[in-house]
Every structure is written in C-alpha cells, then in structure tokens.
Structure 1
C-alpha cells in the first residue's frame, strides 16, 4: 500500500501503540516511579515495570468485587503503580462508573461512596428507560438485543443511564490507569478464522492481535476500504457496558428471562399508548390488536421454551391477524411443527413462526408508530438472536495484514469476551504494551482457575509468551488467595480468586452460593459484605504484591 493511500485511510494497521497512548505511557511511568519510591521500592526510570490489573467477568459480583479490590489497592498505595486497567463483562460495569469521574484514582474514597449509594439505590425509571430504548432504535442503523440488554438489564444493576462516550474520557484521566474494555468478534470465535480479540479504549478501538484500529468515535460507522462512508453515533457507555457484559445472554433460561422482560416492558408501553391515543383515531383498534398479538407472541415463545403446548396462543394470534388484515391469507409457520419431541427443533420452528408473524404485520398496509415498529424489530432480533451487530470498519480493505475473514462482511457481531476467555489477558499481552506484571482478579463463577489456565493455553496456541500454569490438586476445590506464575521471558502473572480459604475460611461454599451470577441486584448489605471480602485479597497480600514488583525490578 502506498504512503499516500496510508494517509487517506482512517483505519490504522500497525503492531504499535497509537501516539496518544505512547505519550500517556511515558507520563504514567514517571508517576509510577514516584509511587514506587513512596512504597520504599528503589528503581530507575528505565526499570519501572509495566503493571496491568485485570478484572474478570462475573456480572454484578465482578462489578462490586473489583471496586472492593481497587479500594484496598488505593489504601495500600499500590493503585498508582498500575499502568493498565482492563476488564471483561461485569468488571467493565465498575470501570465505566469509575471513568465517569476525571482522575478518579486521586479521590477514590469519594467516588467509591458515590457508586455505592447509586448501585444500592432505586432503579432507572420506566420512562427514562423507554426514552433511551427509542433513541437507540431511531438513531442507529443496527438495533439489536444488545441495545435491549443495555436498557432492560444493565440498568437494573448499574442503576443509571450513562450517556458519556469513550472519547469523552480522553483528557480526563491523566492520573488514572489507562482503561481497556474488551469484547470478542463472534464470527471469528465461531469460525476460528481471524482475530476474535477486540478492545475499546478512549483513543482507539480494534483488533488486539491483528493490529487493526479505528478512532473510537468512528467505531460502528460504515467504512469502505478504510474510508468512512456513513457516520453512526459513537457508542455511549451504557451500550458499551451491554456489549461487554452480555455473557448472561447465552442459553435457554436467559432467552426466557429476556422474553419476560420484553413483555413486561411493552405491556407498560401499551398502557401508556392507549391512554394517550384518541379512541376516534383510526389506528387505535389496529394498534391495540397488534400489541395483543406481540404480547401473545412473547407468551408463545416462553411456552415453547418451557416445552408446553402453544396451540391456544397460536389460535388467538391467527384470529387477530385475520381481523387486522381483513381476511388476507396468512403465510405463517404451522403450529403442529412446534409440538415435537425434539425441544431444539421446536425452538427453531418457533423462531421461524415469530419471523413469519412480524413479516406479516409489516406487510399490512398500516402505518405503525415507531413504538410498534421497534417492538417488531425486537421480536425479529430475538428470533434470529442478533447481538452486538455493527458496521465492519475493515470492510473491503486491501491490506493483506488483515485476515480475509475480517474484510469480506459489511457487519460484525461483537459480544462478551467471557464467552471465549473470562479475563482480558490478550489486551495487555499485545507485544507493544510490554507488560511485565499481570495482576489477575478472578471473579468467575465455578472453576477459580479456568481463566488463568485458559489464558496459558490460548497463548501457547498463539505463540505469545506466558508462564506455565500448574495448580496443586488440593487447591482446585479449596483455592488460596494468591498464586504467582513465572517463566523465562514472560510476564509474571499473579492470580487472585475472589472466594478462597483465606478470606472465606470454612464458609467458602456459602459465599459462592450467596453470590451466584444470575440473581437480582444486590442489597446494600450484600454489596458491603462483598466489597469487604474482595478487599481482603489485597490487604492480606500487600507484602506479596510488593515482593513481586521488587523481583521484576531486580
């Protein structure tokens, strides 16, 4: 590619840091040197270690746990030694809250108390949630279940609608660790072709290992061979939290949960619409009847997911569709095919039924209001299970450094990185970030060593330097609170499981059972208790953390 062509491209293809991150790193390393000196750790500027702090996924458990750990790192004087803060899924919910506040790490106690009051407080109002949902639907070319998840689910945990954007943070965090939010490319994950590891920072967004990036405000805009051809709104932090934190959006139980949330949301909307409409309005009857069809369609999906007979709901839907169309012939999936022994076939057939009903409603010569059109679109997304779809900024690029699989499609689907690896190791293992020490805070449910072992195996396959991971057999079910893995020419990795025999004692299983992933928003008492137990993993190990920092310098 010629130099002139490179200058024209808005996509940066390079295995290097962007200029702004390079400048940040230089300044941050000077601050780290001063922080090490305050801790009594002597070091020259060129020996300052690059330390990355990782927060795993784990829903609200990860959100609260990370806040508790950061609180204790701050009190120990270690937070100012961290160069990068990277998160997956629920940890990004905590990060989003922190990075609302300029230079949050200089006043963490105040910021922490503010976050605590918010997440322990009242939920977002229905009217605010509805306005946000409508904004997402109206302003973007691709409206998917990620938008729905943001409004209906993420807000129930973070208790706010954060409309700031990643680029808003560019000049606000000169004294904080550099934030890296991570997701994965679904198509790359499924096919095994290309680079699935994707990162979003205040400056750039793109593929970590391929080295293909675009300015963060341009992520989601339409590109053709490196040039922006159609602008889309920059993602806001609420949407980003949904994009990063949708690992829950996997499986039958979550589909049922989401159908129930959608039904509840639009039942409320229907009441508001009916109250505001004049009964003489010629669309009053059709809108009311269409809404009833869509509510029954949600019930029918739940019915099939539960393995129940949907015949009565099908009959009711067909009658209403006939009344709406004035007897027009219906081309809708046969209900008999929803009553089959194979539950997977029944679900797939129900998806087709849902698409047929929505297509039929859209084919009627009726001017549906935006609320109804949005409702239909959500049904289509549920049937096709579309999450995180956005324009592909690598579309039709000619640079051979980009895998062909990532250049051909006009769109890509992005999802929670926890569905591939529940900790953001790959973001800080980019060679150009020169990471010396990784502190991995693991808030995962289940196997407390899955993430670090998964990272080791992934790095082995990709030829990325990573220490060998060996876990004593006796620790698998009863993990300790601090593990160190080292290797030749590899970063040192410290692995800290959230619940362990040190901070939980003989109540390890009780803590795990109390803080499972799929549950309602925590009470203030549960938030307090979790922050305390998570913080002990830092306060109990301050000396060990400092010892490992010294070992890297020496």
Structure 2
C-alpha cells in the first residue's frame, strides 16, 4: 500500500490535511477548563489550571439501552457534582441519541433540568407519523443521494428519541461553552473493508468533521458538500441533528422495522388513506405484507391471490409478465420472486398508475416508492465526501507550501514528492518542464528502488521521448517513490498521512462505528487531545470486556498507547461495576463501567440483560425509569473511587 505523508498542514478555506486541533476546539477547551478546575475544587481536589486533567466521557453503542443508560449515568454524575470534571464527551450509535437530546439546550450540563426534560420525553413523548413522513420528504428534496440513511433517520430515529431535531452540529460552536466538548463518531465503511485502520475512524465535532487518526478534516458546516481537488465546488446545506443521529445509529437499521412503518404509512397516512381503494396502492400494500412475511415467517399463501390479481397484465423490468408462483414454504426462490415483484412495483409505479401522476399527493407517493425501492435493494448508504486523487489534491497546495512551509522545503522527502507532482502536471499540460529532471536527479542520487534498481532519470532519453513516454515515465517514477518512501525517509513516519485510496473515491460511505468498535475510544486517543483519563460507560450486549480488549488490540496495531488490559473469566460472566486500568507513560488511565454488573444487579444480572435487549423495540416508561436508576447506581457506588483516580492523575502531572 503506497502512502504519501507530508509534515505540513495544507488548508483551503474549509479543507485541512493535518493533525492539529481546530482553533475552534482549542478556544472551546480554554473556556471549559476553568469549569473543570472549579468542579475539582468543590470535590476537595485543589489544582492549578495548568494541572487540570483532560478527562473524556465515552458512551458506547447499544441502541435504546445505550441512549437511556448514558442519560442515567450523566444524570448521576451531575447529581454527584462530577459532570463538570469532563472536558470531552464522545459517543457511538445509541449514545449519540442521548448526547444530541441533551445538547439541544445550551449549557445543559450546568442545568440538571434538561436531563429531567429528556428523561420525560424518552418515556412519554411521541412524534406523529405525518411529521416523520414530511421530514423524509424534506430529505428527499434536498439530497441527491437519497438512501436508507435518510429513511432510517426520518422515519425511525424520531420515534425512538421522540423528537425531530432540525438544528445542526455547527450550531454548537457558540452556545455550549460550559458543556463537555461533544464528539460524534462513525466509521468509513470502505476503509473498514480495505483494512485501512487509520483511515477508518471518523469524527464530527461542532467545528470539524474528519478522519480522527489519518488527519483530514473539513469544516462541519460543509460536511456533505461536494469537493474537487480539495476545493469546495458545490456547497450543500449541513445535515440536521436528526440525520446525524440516524447516521451514527445506522447499525440498528432494521428492514422489518422500516417495512412496518411503510405499512403504517399506507394505512394511516392522511393522503395515503384516501387512496386505499386504488389498485396501485393496494398492490404496494400487498407487496409490503409479502416482504413482512419473509421476516416473520408467516405463510404468504393468502396474499398470493390478491397480489396476482393486482399484477394481472403487468410486465416487469425485463419485459416478462409478472406473477407469483410458489407454495407456502418460504424458499429462496419465493424470496427472489417477491424481490422481483417489489422492485417492479416501486420502479414502475407511475408507469402503471398514470392517473396518479398529476395528483397533489404525487410527491408523497414518489418518496414512498423510492423509499420502498431502497429498502428492497438494501442499497449502501452514501454521503458525498471530499475525495480526489492524491496528486491533484497536493498540487492544489503547492503554492501555499512554497510560501509558508519553510521547514518542509528543507526536507528532501516532501521536496521530492512536490517535484514529481510538478513534473507530472507539467507533462499533462504539455509544458516542457525538463529542468525539473535535473532537480529530481539531484534528489534521487543514491536512492534505490525496493528491488535495488537505480532511479536516476536518463536526461538524454527524456529529451528524445514523446509526450506519452514522458507520462509513463513520470507515473512509474511516482509509484516507485511511494513504494520506497519510508525506507528513504523514516524520520517522517509520524507525520500526517492520507491513504491514496481514500482520496480517490468520489463518494464516501459512512456507517455506525459500533459495527467495528462499540465505543469511541479512538476519538479520545487522538494524540493532540492529550487525554489523561477516559471514563467509559459500556452499554454493550454480550461480553462486557470485549470492547476493551478490541481497543487494546487495535491500539497495538496502530502503535497507540493504551493501558494493559487484564481481567479474569469471572469478570466476563459476573462483571464488577467499576474497573481501573492505569495508564503508563503516554497512555491515559481508563475507567471501565459495564452497565449491568453484580454490584447494581446482584443475582438478577441475567434478568436485566434479557430485559433490555438491543433490538426489542421501544422501552416502556417504567423500563426507562428503572434503567436510568440502574445506570446511575454505577456512578453513585463509585464516586469516591473515581475522585481518587482523578487526584492521583493530578499528582502525577
């Protein structure tokens, strides 16, 4: 895998390559630290401002269990006077739903009333189907890449968090100076499959959105806009917080849940209900029922006659007549037939039902069939990202580098890359940049390829070569330089880098970070944040120590400092409510708090695990109240131990 790393930070107005924290984040933290200091003093831990520890609260994934569990944990931290000790708050999946709900109000952490308001809303609030449908229609109008993320965000997430939040993350920049700095995390789906570890982890803050470890960021207000060669070419409205919550919690997107909402939409939607006797709408309803049978295992036979009557005389996408022919068994062939009919019913809806084209309900019908089609296709979620080829991106910054990066110009490695880029672009513009060959040979003197060959350019052959030959030579030279770069310049290994596959993609696919690592450790382990203590609330199902061990393994592969994780078999089957893994050298100390444990559940540990499943549907108000209390006990039971850990960290600073 060829990588090119530069030791400078390349900026346009909104796009940045580099690892430094944004000015906005640094200013935010400067304003937050006095509140942290004041909190510690109130808890009998005196310290100077310079010794204030950088503490990050992490909330893991876990659907509604994580959403409510984090609310209970933060509520008790507030009651115990500990919440203002945190400099950062970062979440994955369900925990981001709680975060977004709390951050609706400015400086919520200094006013416990907001936690009570959110708890009441989680238990007793609701959002009508009509409002959710119209929010989806809004996404459809605004988004060129309409996807399942739009569907999940608009139709399902508001039903869970009981609100449609139209505010944006960049709005947080000025109204939350007394709250922990919020970080929402997702992963790059493509990089996960390409095994590009540093390029996989992605974060969104009020000021920047970008690759946590790789070091490429765009202003949050422009996340989702279109970039070319690192330059903003088509600004688009910033996603709202409802969409962001859907994106962060996309691992929970369940086809059956969405199909049930589509069925409700057809039967209960104000406009759709008026069309209930229309054969086209009846066919859609029947097809949705057939799809639900695939999930529930019910016998689809009773629906066949209705479906075939409604399909009579209709041709599919391939021109053949559409009919369903199978027995009551739910075989692969049956599923394929249902998918074929579903696809045709969505894609050909208005061709089959021309009488509906000019009705006022046309737009809603259009969004419905597009949604139905996306659910049927299981299309990957796509967001427009800032991708371009490495050479094109760096070329855009050559002038800036030459003007501002004096230290960069003195280093042979980056100079070599820039010279090759200049040569490459000169050739493509059909300009004679032969003088660069002499300069390149000076930089390449003594350099060998991986195979041991000499890379010096024969100047006579270059002068005699035609344009195509020069292009091939420059391209081959750049590849050889990339292959050998780190053996030539090992001193640059810790500099910012972006893998070229990441930059070549025109679109970027993001998904729930919990699919890879169910806690946002990487956002807290970003070197520039200098985190001293991580307080990790873990709401995961299954092994309560799994996220810890997975993070430790990931950190080992990425050469990131992390505490040594040791535990016993009993910690898996019967976990305690509070673990401390002390950081050594550059590693932060980690406090690990499993939601359900022997300290707060006793002999009913397994009962609680079964009671609060990840995919079981909405929790009742009584369940929410009980879970808030249970999560809070983990803080209440360990307040003094937590303060002791903080005190030790300050003494060691």
TM-score of the superposition, structure 2-length normalised?
0.76
SS in 2 for 1:402: strand
Q: State yes or no: 1:330 paired with 2:319.
A: yes
Asked if residue 461 in structure 1 is aligned to residue 557 in structure 2, the reply is yes
Matching residue of 2:608: 511
Q: Is the 8 A contact 1:304 1:350 kept in 2?
A: no
Q: Structure 1 residue aligned with 2:217, among 204, 210, 213?
A: 213
Give the secondary-structure state (helix, strand or coil) at the position aligned to 1:444.
coil
Residue correspondence of structure 1 range 17-166 to structure 2 within 5 A: 17-108=21-112, 110-166=113-169
Aligned counterpart, 2:436: none
Tell me whether 1:525 sits opposite 2:514 in the alignment: no
**1:423 matches 2:516:** no
Aligned to 2:572: 476
Map Cα deviations across residues 13-48 of structure 1 (whole Å, 9 max, x no partner): 111101110112222223322222222213233322
Contact 1:304 1:338 in 2 (8 A): no
Give, in angstroms, the shift of residue 2 of structure 1. 12
Alpha carbons of structure 1 residues 396 and 298: separation in structure 2 relative to 1, 3 Å: farther
Moved more, 204-213 or 260-269: 260-269
Contact 1:330 1:360 in 2 (8 A): no
> Which shows bigger deviation, 53-62 or 410-419?
410-419
Q: Give the C-alpha shift of residue 404 in structure 1.
A: 2.4
Pair 1:407 & 2:503 matched: yes
Match for residue 293 of structure 2 among 298, 303, 306: 303
Gaps of 5+ in 1: 278-283
Q: CA deviation at 1:340?
A: 9.0
> Does the 8 A contact of 2:222 with 2:236 survive in 1?
yes
- Report the counterpart of residue 272 of structure 1 in structure 2: 271
Q: Deviations over 1:248-286 (max 9, x none)?
A: 22xxxx3223222222223323x62463x8xxxxxx99x
Q: Does structure 1 residue 11 correspond to structure 2 residue 15? A: yes
Written as runs of structure 1 = structure 2, the 5 A alignment for 1:196-235 is: 196-235=200-239
Q: 1:380 to 1:164 in 2, by over 3 A?
A: same
**Which has the higher mean CA deviation after the structures are superposed, 55-64 or 405-414?**
405-414
Take 1:5 and 1:498, find their aligned partners in 2: how far apart are those partners? Answer: 41
Task: Tell me which residue corresponds to 1:491.
Answer: 588
- Distance, in Å, in 1 between the alignment partners of 2:532 and 2:213 is 18
Partner residue of 2:631 out of 529, 534, 551 = 534
Return 137-146 or 158-167, whichever deviates more.
137-146
Report the CA distance shift for 1:34/1:481 in structure 2 as closer, same or farther (over 3 A): same
After superposition, the Cα gap between the structure-2 partners of 1:427 and 1:3, relative to the gap in structure 1 and judged at 3 Å, is closer
- RMSD, aligned α-carbons: 2.9
Match of 1:379 in 2: 372
Instruction: Provide, for residues 450-476 of structure 1, a one-character-per-residue CA deviation record: whole Å limited to 9, x for no partner.
Output: 111111111111111111211112221
**Alignment check: 8 A CA contact 1:166 1:202 kept:** yes
Residue of structure 1 in register with 2:383 after alignment:
390
Partner residue in 2 for 1:354 = 342
Which residue number in structure 2 is paired with residue 544 of structure 1?
Answer: 641
Q: Distance in 1 between matches of 2:619 and 2:255?
A: 22
Q: Distance in 2 between matches of 1:242 and 1:210?
A: 24
User: Which ranges of structure 2 fall in alignment gaps of 5 or more residues?
Assistant: 395-496
Per the alignment, do residues 16 and 353 of structure 1 end up closer, same or farther by CA in structure 2, a change over 3 Å counting? Answer: farther
1:447 to 512, 519, 543: 543
1:280 is matched with which residue? none
Find the residue that maps to 1:458 and give its secondary structure: helix
- 1:266-319 residue CA offsets vs partner (Å, 9 max, x unmatched): 3323x62463x8xxxxxx99xx33222222222222234456675775665465
How far, CA to CA, are the matches of 1:77 and 1:332 in structure 2? 69
Tell me by how many angstroms 1:324 deviates.
Answer: 6.8
User: Judging changes above 3 Å, is the alpha-carbon distance between structure 1 residues 332 and 147 closer, same or farther for their aligned structure 2 residues?
Assistant: farther
Classify 1:535/1:122 alpha carbon distance in 2 versus 1 (closer, same or farther; 3 Å). Answer: closer
Q: Which moved more, 1:232-241 or 1:294-303?
A: 294-303
Query: Rg bigger for which structure?
Result: 2
Counterpart Cα distance in 2 of 1:151 and 1:476: 37
Q: Figure out how many residues of one structure are paired with residues of the other and give that number.
A: 537
